[in-house]
Amino acid sequence: MAGFILFGPTHHLLTSALRLRALRHELLVGNIANLDTPGYRPRDLDFANTLRTLTLGHAGVQRVGDWGAGMLAFTAAQPRSLVRERGGEEKLDGNGVDLDRELSLLVENTLLHETSLTLLARTLAGLRYAISEGKR
């Protein structure tokens, strides 16, 4: 059965999104942990642009397979090289972390991570249903 693909682009796109959401979660928690560190600049990941970049195969990301979007394999340096310092109003000690903003971004990221996880679970449930030939 040449050309049979078990996991399609949707599955790979969702798993890539989950990995990026986890990385963004680490960055946001790190920002909160450094709330009182003098001179600390908050770091973040522009999720939409990063996923778009990775999906299009830029920034040194290796494509897996020979077809469409979402077939990604992160290299060791990816996607950490896409992390940027985020500008903002600094306090007197040079720290740019705003706790309210970081917490709201963290909550938003958590909800979107859960949404991606739910969508991935549903795609796997469809596969499980097909494997069982529609029997329950």
pLDDT confidence of residue 126: 86
Helix (H) or strand (E) holding 73: strand 72-73
pTM of the model: 0.76
Task: Give the integer Cα–Cα distance in Å for 4 and 1.
Answer: 6
Please say whether the beta carbons of 12 and 62 come within 8 A: no
Q: What is the pLDDT of residues 109-119, one digit of tens each?
A: 999 999 999 99
CA 39 to chain centre: 27
For residue 133, name the pLDDT band (cuts at 50, 70, 90): confident
Residue located via tokens 């077939």: 71
Residue located via tokens 């969508």: 119
Domain definitions of the chain by residue range: 18-38+95-136, 46-82
pLDDT confidence of residue 66: 38
Q: What is the pLDDT of residues 11-70, one digit of tens each?
A: 888 988 999 999 999 999 999 999 999 999 999 988 888 888 877 764 444 444 433 433
